[in-house]
Chains A and B, each alone.
Chain A
């Protein structure tokens, strides 16, 4: 293949990565923004979404699109419920102390991983895509499903943006984020908001995982990469900024796609992680963010 088609392919692959990453990172960013905690188990919610998608699609026979549609609805709901329970049982009791939360969510990470290993097993398993349609470009054919991931993600991001900025629920969340005490004084049920936000963050990760699992098999250790990449995106984009998160996801996803074509993936990861650590050290507010309040 000539250089340009090669680059186009890398960019398309990068866009698919970006689309999934933006959703996952948005979940992490939302939880950090509103609750001021870092959820280390976020990647495991992603993994759980993928594993559940496999379980649901393989339980439903017939048209793969039917099973997939069901997975797209059920899997995030189940993951959201698990997250909500974890929030009620653990995080609320340690009063969202930032450091204790990190330790507790590390514990959660291990528990979820072990449960997935015990009940799902160590194998990587594929999920059949809901449809197989190839779009023929002048140089190569490209999976229509992958393009639909980008569209679905864009749609979901717009919906989240709408909810956050234009609805009462969004207003309540922003009020809680801005000042917890005042929100309490105005009768906002902060505890319930926290539970809902934590569940919502996990659901976004689960949706992202269901979308990606037809092209990237489900595996019980698949959560670590999305976790680290989400950290990277959230840090570069500026914590709690929706716009920054999307821009950073595009930047990281596309450059990751392009770098991996030309360098070894390990080297690409080393460089990306190092660059982001340096951003955090020297520009903690992120590249696009304003200083957090």
Chain B
């Protein structure tokens, strides 16, 4: 509900989160600083996924293709054609837009389980395509983007994306942009329609809404956000490989979002962060990270369907967006 009091609270909370992330830049030890930069970029991926899964209720098993579209859309032109960083980033967004539009037009003809399988299959086609054109992508082995190509001329100086602090702050900036974009969308009229579609599509149609067009818009927005994460990943961490297009990277955002809380704006960050550290810590004792992922997925579905923030919203903090 958009009483003025809660609006202020909501924005204050989100601004505080961003401020905290910026402050951490100066406090965190080197290792965790690097981890958090990576987590922030992956959290953007999770936020893109959440927009579609959490708010519209469309469970895709193929979002790796949007992330990978951004990754390759940015990485390939930079590596092969010598594009600059800003142009490459735009290329990643463009690739994500086109892929999401085409996939949306096709996959949205189906719903429910068929939608999951269709998106999974399209993502598999995308993955196999990156392997098939191994001459340019070098498949699983991937491409490493050299340090000198990841510089942006900025006035008199240069912005070096390989510098840890720069990389971290750019990751925070991307995260903030995606967070406030999500917030704006879910609090808008379009967002209200998306939630209505999730709750009851037939009824929404009978209120005069073109539900297909609204869902398509959501797929495209979600795809572009995920592509932005992919493009940023390529540019900030300098690696572009087929692994990011594999089915595993379609499952992970689902896991992160379920854990943090679907249809909450901050849930994706929480889920990504938590899962990253769980795997990081357990891998100190065992290499069985797939066991951890599998168990967490099953336990979430069995006992904790709403995730951390979803449960908090239900029990204590009703105004949480």
Contact = CB atoms under 8 A, between A and B. Distances in A.
Contact of A103 (B106, B121, B128, B254): B254
Interface residues of A, number: 40
22 contacts: A38-B116, A94-B301, A94-B302, A98-B112, A99-B59, A99-B112, A104-B301, A106-B251, A107-B293, A107-B294, A107-B297, A110-B294, A110-B297, A111-B290, A114-B291, A117-B288, A231-B117, A270-B132, A273-B124, A273-B128, A280-B114, A284-B110
B294 A267 contact: no
Contact of B302 (A90, A264, A284): A90
A115 interface: yes
A267 B110 CA distance: 26
A281 B124 contact: no
Contacts of B117: 38, 231, 235, 280
A163 interface: no
Contact of A117 (B132, B254, B290): B290
A102 B124 contact: no
B281 interface: no
Interface string A100-127: 1011101111111111011000000000
Nearest to A36: B113
A274 B123 CA distance: 10
Contact of A113 (B124, B125, B251, B290): B290
B129 interface: yes
Given A102-B116, A281-B109, A90 B298 contact: yes
Given A90-B302, A93-B302, A281-B109, A106 B297 contact: yes
B124 A228 contact: yes
A269 interface: yes
A114 B132 contact: no
A98 B117 CA distance: 12
Interface in A31-89: 38
A276 interface: yes
A95 B4 CA distance: 41
A231 B290 CA distance: 23
B298 to A, nearest CB: 4
B87 to A, nearest CB: 29
A136 interface: no
Nearest to B59: A99
Contacts of A112: 294
A87 B196 CA distance: 33
A266 interface: yes
B290 A281 contact: no
Interface string B84-112: 00000000000000000000001101101
A264 B125 contact: no
Given A114-B288, A228-B124, A284 B114 contact: yes
Contacts of A150: none
Interface string A194-212: 0000000000000000000
A277 interface: yes
A262 interface: no
A186 interface: no
B12 interface: no
B296 A107 contact: yes
A3 interface: no
Given A98-B113, A235-B117, A264-B132, A115 B124 contact: no
